[in-house]
Amino acid sequence: MYVYVIENIPTSARIKVNTFVTWSPNFILLSVVAYFTGSWDTLAVTINLLAAPSLFCFIFLYESPRWLMQKGLLNEARRTIIAMNTWGHGAEKKQYRHEQEVMDALENDLTASHELLRHKRYYFYHLFYSWKLLRYSIVLAFSCFTNAMAFYGLLFNLEKISGSLYMNTSVLGAFRYLLNIVLATVDHAFTSVGRKFVHTVSIIIFIVIIAFVVVLTKTDLTLDFKGLIRLLTLTGMGIISILFIVNALSCAELFPTAIRNLAGANIATWNRIGCILAPQLIYLGEIEESLPHIVLIVLLSIDAVAFLTLLPETKSRPLKDRMPPKEKLILRNCKTTRTLSIPNDNDDNDNLSCLMN
């Protein structure tokens, strides 16, 4: 879903859409419904009934223009790009984005190559097609894994902190949405605040919070400061949840269109693996009460360093449309799918990308 949304909105609106239109408010709705339903089966049926009307929204959605281009459907891609560039603008903007202008850009990019693109097939191993893609895949997968471990490890242990479980869940949802609004505002106001900055600062704040909880645990002050521990835990969960958005955005912005869905599926898989292992983290407390928190601190420290040093900044950059050239393959003699190459990954002069900004 992140890939679809990112491919259908202008570059400047990526963070805004993904922070305002998110699942954070659903925590409030979920806690209310769970309180009144009283059983898991009734809760599951009710939640699905509430979500069912969203199916009708698909009637009004456009297909991704990049996917349409890969299939050689230039006319549909043209209409979608024009629609994207007229959202929220008047007649002057519509006149500027004339159909012929868009068509020229599409033809310049695809006239010589769209027949090849129509017959391409990309597979999971293409995520490790070059050393650069291999690095991106490993770092983002590890980041999503540790993010899920941190968030769900605390979420599944939420009943052990003071206060009502339903109230804590509602407060968490409201706080997460407030953080999303702050993130969107800061991202718009400060061009220097990119994905790496938000990722690193979020982890630092989370580590400081969890370290303080560890100190209270080691000094046997948990009962005296149970209200403070509740506040710190909910704050830490809200802060670390920002990484869900940052990781998904970074993944979509780093990988070429041909394997963007594969990359999204890869990090989503590692996210789910983190969800599966997160409840087991609690059992480490039987060895040492503060051990689960210490493990999270270590994992997130590695994540912060890897994300900061091994990934490029992607804010405000156009989405990539082409795979790396063959000379950059890890195994040059292996059988590979033919790809189009570009001389520089940082080339921002692509005609299509300019139209979609």
Q: Write out the DSSP string of 209-238.
A: HHHHHHHHHHTT-TTTTHHHHHHHHHHHHH
Into how many domains does the chain fold? 2
The 10s digit of each residue's pLDDT in 63-83 is 777 667 666 777 777 777 777
Q: Which of 139, 107, 95, 156 is nearest to 285 (CA)?
A: 156
Residue 17 lies in a domain: yes
Residue 27 lies in a domain: yes
Distance (Å, whole) CA 337 – CA 355: 28
User: What CATH number is associated with residue 206?
Assistant: 1.20.1250.20
Least confident piece of the model among 58-72, 110-124, 240-254, 290-304 = 110-124
Residue 315 lies in a domain: no
Based on the domain organization, do 256 and 160 belong to the same domain?
Answer: yes
C-alpha pair distances (Å), 210 with each of 95, 160, 172, 258, 330: 54, 16, 16, 40, 40
Based on the domain organization, do 50 and 66 belong to the same domain?
Answer: no
Which pLDDT does position 344 carry in this prediction? 44
Residue 49 lies in a domain: yes
What is this structure's pTM?
0.76
Q: Which of 295, 302, 306 is nearest to 154 (CA)?
A: 295
Distance (Å, whole) CA 195 – CA 342: 24
Q: What is the mean pLDDT of residues 143-172?
A: 86
Based on the domain organization, do 128 and 78 belong to the same domain?
Answer: no
Q: Which two tokens stand for residue 175?
A: 């706080």
Based on the domain organization, do 130 and 75 belong to the same domain?
Answer: no
Mean pLDDT, the chain, integer: 78
Residue 317 lies in a domain: no
Q: Please say if the pLDDT value at position 23 is more than 90.
A: no
Domain membership of residue 82 as a residue range: 62-120+322-356
Q: Which two tokens stand for residue 350?
A: 């692509």
Based on the domain organization, do 301 and 275 belong to the same domain?
Answer: yes
Residue 107 confidence class, pLDDT cut points 50, 70, 90: low
Residue 316 lies in a domain: no
